[in-house]
Each structure stands twice: as C-alpha cells, then as structure tokens.
Structure 1
Amino acid sequence: MGAETTERLYGVCDYYDAEALLTDAERRVLGRLRTFLDEQAKPLLADYWERGDFPDQLTGPLIDLDLMEPAEVTGPPGPGHTPARGIYHGFRIFELARSDASLATFYTAQAGLFRTAVTVGASPEQRAEWLPRVLDFSLKGVFSLTEPEHGSDIAGGLATSARRDGGDWILNGAKRWIGGALTADVLAVFARDEADGQVKGFLVDRQAEGVTLEKIHGKASLRMMQNANITLADVRVPEPMRLHNVNSFRDVAAMLRMMRSDVAWIATGTAAGAFEAALRYVTEREQFGRTLGSFQLVQEKLARMLGNVTSALSLVVRLTEQQDRGVYRDQDSALAKMQTSLLMRETVALAREVVGGNGITLAADVARFHADAEAIYSYEGTHDINALIIGRALTGHSAFTH
C-alpha cells in the first residue's frame, strides 16, 4: 500500500523510508499538517515555550485539519468506510512531535488517551453517543489517573474514592500532572469503589461543584503543555456518566497497553526533531573557516543520532503493524516506550552538544527538544517500570515490590 508520489515528507530522518508504508492519501493529510506546523505553529513555539503558555490560537486550526479519522483516508461514513490505520496515526504523532513535543502531547491527550478511555471503557451505547463527539472535538476530555502520591504504583495505590449514592456516585481525591485539564469539557477520572475495592471510571464535568483545578507552575520540561492538579471534593457524578466497561484496574491496564505506543511515537518524533535541528545548524554554522558539519567529530555524532532515530522508527513501525493485526501485549509496548525514550535521550543530548553554546538558546530549537525529552522519558511508564514489565515477560517472575 505504498504511496504513489515520489516526493518524500521525512527525508533524511526516515533513512530506511518507513513512510513508503503510507498511502498517498495518508501522506497528503500529513503534508497538510506539515504546512500548518511550518507556517502557523513554528513561529510561535520558542516564545510560548519560554512563557510557559500554550498558543491557544493554534487549537481551532489544528482541529479543523480533521486529523483523527480524515475522510480522505477512511472514505465517507457508510459502506466502504474503513478506520484510519495505525501507521497513519503513528506518523501523525511523529509529525507533531518532530515540531514540538507539547503539541504532540496536547493532541494525543484527546486522540489517544481520551479516545481510548471512551473506546475501551464505555459501553456500546455510551460509545455511540460519545465517540463521534470525541473525534470532532466537540467533547474534549483528558485521562486522569496519576495522583499526587501515586504514579508508578498507581495499580495498587490509587486512592481517589467513589461511593454509590442512589443514582449518583460521590468522588473524593486528587489527581496530578493531568495535561489539558484546564480546557477540557470532561475529566476521565479513575477512582476506587468503596464497596468492592475495584477501580471504576467516570466522566466528570470539569465545572462540576467540588472540582478544583490548579495549573502546575515551575516546570522545566513540556513548558507549553498545561498540566494541572485536580482536587475532587464530594463531586457528584450521575451513573450514566460512569464508564460502564471499567470495573477493575485490569480494564485500565488494557487502555495503558494500547496508549503506550503513542508515547513511543512521541519519543521517536522528538528525537527526529532534535536531529533535524542539529543537522540544519551544523551545515550553516562556520568555525575555523569551515562549516561545523565538515568536522569528523561532528559527523560521528550526526551518524549516531541518525542511527538512534532510525532504530526508534523501526521499533514503533513494527509495533504498530503488530497492533493493527490485533496483537497487544504489555511487554511489546513497554519495550518500545523504554527503548525509544533511551534513544531519544541520547539523541537530544548529542544535538545540544554539536550546536555548542547556542544549543542552550531557544533560537536553535535543540534546547526545547532537549528539555522536553525529560518529561517524555518519565511519563506513560518510567524506564524502570517498563523494564520490569519486560523482565516479567522474559522470566515469568514479577520483580515489582509489594
């Protein structure tokens, strides 16, 4: 199903031409996204990153691009309609991340996290009502799982409580690091049922009585992405707003299994963006009467960066092909997230290094990628947690502490 056109979107950062797996229609949609990012987003990124604000003026035009299930790719609704392929979704994330990790995280909060919460956690009747609104962004939501005292140990430590009260549920607790919460319509909150001790899911109106949101300040990474602390104090949620297919943490884990690959694509795109920024710089910057790119040590670092990006892209493409066939295993997505994050971390460091002193300035782009990589390295499972998931699959023994 390769594309018919010869002009490539990704050039040197896709050294083995993985984009040949895309159809012509998929590449046209991605090309429009590229134009939007180059012309409207990139001129704003350094300023908004430094200010720690999100460029809200980009939200409407980004939604209008119709990237989640574009008709050009899927066909019109009705007979002949086929969902967009995983490889398209992956390259959409890659395209966003190679421009800016906050933009990729912002879009994926809706297109990945919240969409998965509804697709997996909702009943068929709920999906029929909510999913079309998720796809067109008329219902904006966020995935609210992490808590102030529970991140990696959330499976057993989740402390937010839910208590049935007639036709409603009463929620109490707190969530932390929830990206996009300040502008969402609903919060997909996961809480422990006091009656049976099992985790349940709820769509909570952001403006409901008892919901308090506070922007997290002082971040040194993903500064454009607006993360929030959420406090829930006797928040009343009607039973129809409970995610009816979420009845234990096992159901939440099924969502995480599906979503972790998105973060691996973000890590890969971030590495590619840093590599491309460094390559541009060293081919233009002169020292000792020659461009930096003509020096042996710089070329060695460029080769290592390209090797990292190529390896990461190969991992996520293969993982996505497996998932398109219905193969979802915790250890597969954990391996991809762990390894792409490691490769990204080295790549952004090498990019900052070859740019020299200017590498700490936002004008050269690499500083933004370098800082943002630290958040990506940790979210959706730290290196150690993902390693233990893989180790458990390899040995048959769980090394998680209890």
Structure 2
Amino acid sequence: MENKVSRWCLISMASIPLVMTLGNSMLIPVLPIFEKKVGISSFQSSTIITSYSLAAIFLIPVAGYLSDRFGRKIVILPSLILAFIGGVIAGFASWKMSDPFLWIIIGRVLQGMGAAGATPIILPLVGDLYKDDDEKTSSCLGLIETSNTFGKVLSPILGAAFAAFLWFLPFFSISFFSLISIILVFFFIKVPQGEKEEPKKLKEFLKNTKKIFKQDGKWLYPVFLLGIYAMLILFGVLFFLSDILEKVHDIDGVKKGFVLAIPLFFLCIASFITGKKIKGETKTMKRVILLSLAGISASVIFVGYVNKQLVLLLIVTSVLGIAIGAMLPTLDALITEGIEKEERGTITSFYSSSRFIGVAAGPPVMSLVMKELLNISYISAGIIGVLLILIVMKFIKGDNSNSASSNPAVTST
C-alpha cells in the first residue's frame, strides 16, 4: 500500500531547514554592519555564527535520541519555539541595550538549541514517511536539501534588505519565520502511526549506537567527514566573500546580498537536480560524491588568487557551489537509506551535528587566516579534498552494501 504524503506536509517539512538556514546564513552579509554598530572585531562577529552552531553540535545527538524515543513531531515543535525565543532575545537586546553583544550570543545559543532539535529530525522523518521507497525518499530529501540551499540563496538578500531598514531586524525576522514553521508543522505534519514499541532505555540506546558505529563505522565516519568538509568550505568562503565584496569591491547593502546569492543559486540548482537523479542507487551516489569532491578541490584553491577580479571570483565560487550542492543531498540519502528506521534519528543526528562542526569552524577560521594565510589555507582545503576522494574510494561501497545490516560481510573485513 502506497504511503501518501500530502503537499502541505512536504511544504511543512521543507520550511524547517529553510527557517534554520535563514537563521544562520541571513546574518553573514550583515556581520560587517554588526561590527560597526556593536563595536566588535571580525573574529567576534564570526562568533555570532559560531555560537549558534556550537549549541547545535552538542545538542543534536540528544535530539536524535529523544526523537527515536518519543517521536519526531514532539521534538520538532518545542525546538522551533526555542528558535523563536532566541530571535526575540537577540533582536530586543540589539534594539534596547547599549552593549548587546553578550545577549546576542545568548539569543543565538537558544536558536542553535532550536536548530538542534528541528533540522536533523527531518531526515529520519522523511525516511519514516516513505518507509521502504528509496526513490521517493531520495527525491524528498533532494527537496529538503533544496529548501535548505534555497534558504542560503534567499538569506543574503533578505539579511541585507532587513539590515538596510534596521540593522537588528534580521534577528526579529528569524522569530517571524520560526512562527510560520511552527504553525505549518503543528497542522500539517502527520507522523505515520505504526505499531507502538516500548521506547529504548538510555543504556540500551547507547549500546545500540555503539553497535551501529562498530558495524557501519567504515562508511559512516567518512560521510561525517564529508559533511564537516563541505560546510567548512561553504561557510568559510561565504564569510570571506561577505568581507571581500565590501572591502575590496565596494559592494554593500542589498547589492552585496544579490552578489553573495549567485554561487548559492548554483548550489541550490545542483542540489535539486541531484536529489531527483540519484534515486537511491548507491553506485550513483558514490560517483556523485567523487565528482563533487573533485570539483571542490579544483575550484577552492583558486578563490584566494582571483579575489580582486569579481567576475572570476564569482565563476570560481559558483563552480564550488555546484560541487557542494551536488554532494549534500547525496550524503543525506546515503545516511537515511543505509540505516534502519529504529536508529535512523540517532545516526542522522550525529551526521547533522558533524555538518554543524563545519558551519561553526568556517567563519572564525577564515577570519584568522584571510589576512596572511589566505592562499595557503585554500590550497590546503583542496589537498584535503583529494585525500577525501581516496577515503571515499576505499570505504564507501558502490554496490548498495554500505549498511552492515544488509551485508554482514562488511563487518568481517
């Protein structure tokens, strides 16, 4: 019997990564404005992004466990409410306080806690809704990742536009978008009612998680590394672009938002097409990952060298965006389809947490290296990409046997 998922359910699920992406990426183009208004350094402004991501890193695995134990929707809704409250705190502090930096960070931590309990739960929820239909799962994950990347395209434009009106308005807008998502999730996401099982106790959960990583770690750890790498490169380059467009090319405000959106637009298109094409085929997924890594490695090394030539800079970063956009939904599908439903929330949460490590590290690392070690850092990123190609070739199978549950031989080597 086919499991029918309504269009509004899909829209509701897609709204969550969209809101959470806006919650982070929307602030990147306005960080230089925050530096001037709040009187903080480039490194301090980068912590406005990092504080959000650090909170998410540590709480995502907890949210994954809670979603497996008590249900996806029960975890998602309170998390979105936390994101709403965090935006209000950061916005109100910026509006009313003379020295709001600490309260901005507190608000951002609350938003990160909200992101921890909302975004990663979507991946296992998709798997629950489509059950054993890998093709529809891949397609829906492509839609979710496209929503995520569309948020990245929209966010610099919206962030710059809001900040041009009131510099702290982006914080309040995050709360507004969270409220819309809360309403959509509450009314339209209907979690399938299967046989009720006794929730796993913490001790049993830890034992099962350890067992999964022992069985499937050979391919799971590389996927986590790829998630960290992709987001580290993406957010490091976005932070660099935001800074260089203003200081070298004299582009700011809404115009800067549109320029920043160009490579993200290509990332969004690549993500959408890839989600439609991979169709649950592990061999195809591995090929896409390898080609994506080659594209990232070949393009990222040139970012520093072309930073004073705007057209070349946008071409290089757009190629980079295409490569990252193709890889992200592929990794989502590989994780979601390779793990059994009972542990899906836990493992996808670890994967989402690994992605947030890259998001957290990208801006501060870039703020530290872009003055004196810019080209060396980008060349190093390219070399790491080549090493990851070798790791993928060795440890990620291309024959639908990544999951140890489907092929016991995987654990014996």
Q: Provide TM-score, normalisation by structure 1.
A: 0.30
Q: Which has the larger radius of gyration?
A: 1
Q: Which has the higher contact order (CA 8 A, sep 6+)?
A: 2
Q: Provide TM-score, normalisation by structure 2.
A: 0.30
- The structure whose residues are more often strand, as a share, is 1
